[in-house]
Structures are given as C-alpha cells and as structure tokens.
Amino acid sequence: MKKYIVLFLSLLFIITGCGKGESANIKEEFIRNIEKKDSYLVKGTMNIISNEDTFSYNIVAAKYKDYYRVNLVNTINNHEQVILKSDEGVYVVTPSLNKSFKFQSEWPDNGSQAYLLDSLVDDITSDQNSKAVKGDNGYIITAKVNYPNNANLVSEKIYVDNKAQVQKVEVLDASNNVKITVNFTSVDYKPTFNSDYFDLESLIDEDCCNEETTGKNIDEIIYPLYIPKNTYLSSKDTINTNTGNRVILTFTGESPFTLIEEVSAPSNEFEIIPVYGEPLMLSDTFGALSANSLYWTSNNIDYYLSSDKLSSTELLTIAESISNGSLTVAGDK
C-alpha cells in the first residue's frame, strides 16, 4: 500500500512540476519570439468599455525597426485615425479632416499599448511578478500595466496558444473588470511594406476636403455627465467664427475647468498642429494631452478641455463622459 501512495505522490509531483515548468517556458518563449523580431504586422479588433458603452475598432498595427504605424477604424461610423512614429516625430492623423497633431513624444515606449507586441513584452519584463498559467486553449500571461494618464487600468491578461503566439489581450481595472480587449486575427513577423508606408505623406489625401466648410454651427451643446464634486456650470457663451460658432462652457468651484466645443472644419491643405504633450487613447478617438489640457475630436465636434487644478486622470474622466454621448444639461447655479 505504501508503494502505491509513494508512486501516486511521485506522479503528482512530476505532473504539477512539469506544468509549472511549461508555463514558465511559455512566458520566456513569448518574450524571445518578439524580442528577436525587428518588424511585424498585426491585425485584429479592439473593444474599449466605458461605463455601459463599448467602442469597437478594426486595427492594423505595424512595426519596422524604430518606426510604428497604427490604423484604427471605428466599426460604427468608419472614422479613421492613424498614429505614426517616424524620424520626424509622433503624429496622430485624422485623414477625413486633413489634419494631424505632431508630438515630440516617447510613444510608444512611455506606456502600455495593448495592440503592440513589443509593448506587451515590456509589460511582462517590467513586472517581476508576471507569470503564465495554463488555460483552456493555451496559456494566460498576467502582468501589471503602465497607463500613466489612466490610473484606473492596472493589469492585463495575455492569451497565447501552445506555441506562445498571441491570441488576445485583456486590460483590467483594480476591480478586475475588463476595460480593453484586443483580439488578434493575424500576426505576420515577415511583412513587406511599401517604401513610404511609415511616411506622413502617405496619409495625405489631397482630394478629401474640397467641400465648403463655413457656416456650420453646433446644433446642441454637449455637456459632460461627470462633473467633479462641488463644481458647477457658471457661464455659457457662444462666439461666431469664420466656420460657424464656438461654445465656451466655464465650470467653477473646487475643481474649475473650461470646455470649448465647435464643429470640426476640414482643412483644404494638410495641417500639422504641434502639441507639447502626449497622444492619448480615449474610448472613441485619439486625443492630445498636455500638462493641463486635453484636445480631441468626436462625432465631428472638436473639444478643448483645460484646467489648472485637475489631474490628467480627471481630465480623461470628464472627456470620457462627453464622448459617451451625454446630452444632459448641467445645472446652472
């Protein structure tokens, strides 16, 4: 009887020991697979969950040495934006508006990017407690994330198959709720790019914006659903401009801020807008975040949010509540 018990325990030790070894090997293999590649092209879908809304994108992300290009297309309205890193800097391009923000930024190395493979590796290697466990159809690698402008995002799960090839990424908040999901449909480690693929000029459509853009007004003012505690709408002004009108909302109190709204006006010539800040992914668009302001375009409306009192996370929270489509009128005092 003792022989059978010893034999059973030995087999159990071997099985569980091998499982742990395989999980550790999978994590290291995933890291090696990506670190030794200087280029890749991935395709997939990304869902961003904000409150009760889900924003879905088709995504194409490319890397070649130190160059990056990420195309995001909203699946509802086909609105496209491109984030590009080249020798000249980092750009967020909106082709339909013939405009681009230009940043002197360390993107994508300055934070986690769930759709970039080398960013996933950085997350894993930066977290000494990152680990892999056996899942239903492969393995799940868990690691902490670094979203410096969104403290609500704290960890991620990277789903890989038995050959350590990425299948899906989930980014979670502190309550373990999934906030971002990226499903990879294809990964190509030997892509062929056109010679101008990572050039800004390749994204310029000279015929995109030949229509008349004057006289466009905001039909309905959009108010944020979220307003910081002990803060209220103190003034609402409308200014006429060459292309329509501009609405200025001033909020006063413990956390004062100003929100400016106007209809997006496509430029007849490609316009590059320098920004001293960082590109920031909101639920439904890329924005430009500086020390005390946030600029973005959503549903054909340009928004500019500024405050000397609010943190970047608080600015983001207000912006997200606007992008979620609120038409709730804030109470005047």
User: pLDDT tens digit string along 99-117?
Assistant: 899 998 899 999 999 999 9
Mean pLDDT value across residues 169-196: 96
Looking at the fold, whether 150 and 280 belong to one and the same domain comes out as no
Write out pLDDT tens, residues 234-283: 999 999 888 788 999 999 999 999 999 999 888 778 899 998 889 998 88
* 252 burial type by CB count under 10 A (0-12 exposed, 13-18 middle, 19+ buried): middle
Residue 86 within any structural domain of the chain: yes
Asked if 158 and 33 count as a contact pair (C-beta separation under 8 A), the reply is: no
Residue partners of 125: CB distance under 8 A and separation at least 6 = 31
How does DSSP classify residue 329? P
Looking at the fold, whether 180 and 261 belong to one and the same domain comes out as no
Looking at the fold, whether 236 and 169 belong to one and the same domain comes out as no
Single-letter code of the amino acid located at 120: L
Residue 43 within any structural domain of the chain: yes
Residue 17 within any structural domain of the chain: no
* 16 burial type by CB count under 10 A (0-12 exposed, 13-18 middle, 19+ buried): exposed
Looking at the fold, whether 181 and 235 belong to one and the same domain comes out as no
**Domain enclosing residue 68, as ranges:** 37-203
Looking at the fold, whether 259 and 317 belong to one and the same domain comes out as yes
Over the chain, what is the mean pLDDT?
87
Q: Residue 45 — very low, low, confident or very high, per pLDDT cuts 50/70/90? A: very high
- In the three-class reduction of DSSP (H, G, I as helix; E, B as strand; rest coil), residue 20 is classed as helix
Asked if 318 and 326 count as a contact pair (C-beta separation under 8 A), the reply is: no
Asked if 23 and 170 count as a contact pair (C-beta separation under 8 A), the reply is: no
Least reliable range by pLDDT among 17-26, 208-217, 250-259: 208-217
Single-letter code of the amino acid located at 27: K
Report the distance separating Cα 300 and Cα 326, nearest Å. Answer: 15
Residue 135 within any structural domain of the chain: yes
Looking at the fold, whether 137 and 189 belong to one and the same domain comes out as yes
Residue 49 within any structural domain of the chain: yes
Looking at the fold, whether 128 and 252 belong to one and the same domain comes out as no
Asked if 62 and 194 count as a contact pair (C-beta separation under 8 A), the reply is: no
Q: How many domains is the chain built from?
A: 2
Residue partners of 208: CB distance under 8 A and separation at least 6 = 95, 96, 98, 266
Structure pTM? 0.84
How far, rounded to the nearest angstrom, does the alpha carbon of residue 200 sit from its chain's CA centroid?
20
Residue 307 within any structural domain of the chain: yes
Looking at the fold, whether 261 and 198 belong to one and the same domain comes out as no
